[in-house]
Amino acid sequence: MKRESNYNNLGYEDFVEDEKFRKWVFAPDEESQLFWETFIKNNPTKKETIQIARQIVEAIHFEEEPVNREEYIPSLTILKHKIVKQDKPGKNIRLFPNWWNKTAVILLIPFITISIYFYFSRPNTAQEGQKTQYIVPPGQKSNMILADGTRVWLNSGSTLTCFMGDELNRKVHLEGEAFFDVTKDKKNPFFVETEKYTVKVYGTSFNVRAFKEQVTSEIILEEGAVSVVTGNNEEIKLKPNQRFYINEENKYQVSAIDPEYYTCWKDNVLRVNNEELQHLIVRLERWYGVSISIPNFEKVKNLRYTLTIKTESCREMLELMRLVTPFTYTINGENITINYDI
């Protein structure tokens, strides 16, 4: 109780500076999860403050080795502007707390270079509530823990929007691919919205691939149970080791699969099984963060490949593909041209 009272008068910038708070965000254990859940329950007026502090901490990654000030100041200035713009008049955030001078500061998700855009957007109407959006660019991946304890892995080229205006904070919108390990709550389901359907979850592990530019979409259920509510309000219930797939004609099918084959991307493994080149190219562009062009694409788009990518570089991946079908290629920065000898 004494420890809890120490946080009663803190603002979100103070929570960001608190070592125990940051540890809970990055590496929560049973004790810390219980403490902060109890604190929020006993101090409902601090809920939004903690949400903002958590968002800031999730957007910052700390390393032992320092980085150049010029590398992170522009990104942090943008972050400060986004937050202060939405906050109440007269309330400021300290841009560089003391402990930031002793650590490297770079934007999260996960970073070697500052290439993810993290921002807050508060709608004009109170009914819509506050939103937090995470954007993962091609060639990057990320994982995070949401306010309710749900853990999410975001694949490259994906966007996750979290709706925080409701009391339960258990609704997100996905454009791209994500693996969810949802905190169980039988009374309050967790919702994942996509352009074509909504996934209703009570506590389970599953993968959703729903890229906006792709006409197909799928859900892979690893464990637990989910319901898929389609655009015409039809509800389909899935069992573990099942795949829900919507094709180009918006027709769906449910089939038995090995989930690990579809979800191994979160462990930095890409498996391709008899996949057409036209679909494989899109996945490889996201995986490596490159742009691939094929001059005679229409002639070769239906070629099929089976391969597994773990630690292979982009060049090594191309050499693996050449073992199946002959071609030459050139790499110019992030642009790759493949010329098939067909």
- The pLDDT tens digits for 5-19 are 677 777 767 788 788
Domain ranges of the chain: 122-258, 269-340
> Which CATH topology does 269-340 take?
Phage tail protein beta-alpha-beta fold (3.55.50)
Indicate the pairing of strand 226-230 with strand 142-145. Answer: unpaired
In this prediction, residue 54 has a pLDDT band, given cuts at 50, 70 and 90, of confident
Please check whether the two domains, 122-258 and 269-340, share a CATH topology. Answer: no
- Mean pLDDT (the chain, rounded): 77
In this prediction, residue 293 has a pLDDT band, given cuts at 50, 70 and 90, of very high
Highest mean pLDDT among 36-40, 60-64, 217-221: 217-221
State the residue for tokens 């109440």.
88
pLDDT digits (tens, 9 = 90+) for 221-275: 999 999 999 888 889 999 999 999 998 888 899 999 999 889 999 999 999 888 8
Averaged pLDDT for residues 179-191? 90
Give CA–CA dist 230/233, Å, rounded. 5
Q: C-alpha dihedral over 52, 53, 59, 64, to 10 degrees?
A: 170
State the residue for tokens 């979800």.
263
**Residue 102: pLDDT above 50?**
no
Q: What percent of the chain has pLDDT over 70?
A: 75
**Residue 72: pLDDT above 60?**
no
Q: How far is CA 29 from CA 17, 23, 221, 287, in A?
A: 19, 9, 26, 31
pLDDT at 113 (0 to 100): 33
Measured in whole angstroms, the distance separating CA 16 from the mean position of its chain's CA atoms is 22
- Report which residue type is found at 201: V
Do 219 and 238 form a contact (C-beta atoms < 8 A)?
Answer: yes
Q: Output the six-digit token pair for 287.
A: 């995986």
Averaged pLDDT for residues 7-35? 80
In this prediction, residue 95 has a pLDDT band, given cuts at 50, 70 and 90, of very low
Averaged pLDDT for residues 73-85? 48
pLDDT at 5 (0 to 100): 61
Averaged pLDDT for residues 51-73? 55
**How many C-beta atoms surround the C-beta of residue 251 within 10 A?**
8
In this prediction the pTM is 0.61
**Residue 66: pLDDT above 80?**
no
Class of CATH domain 122-258: mainly beta
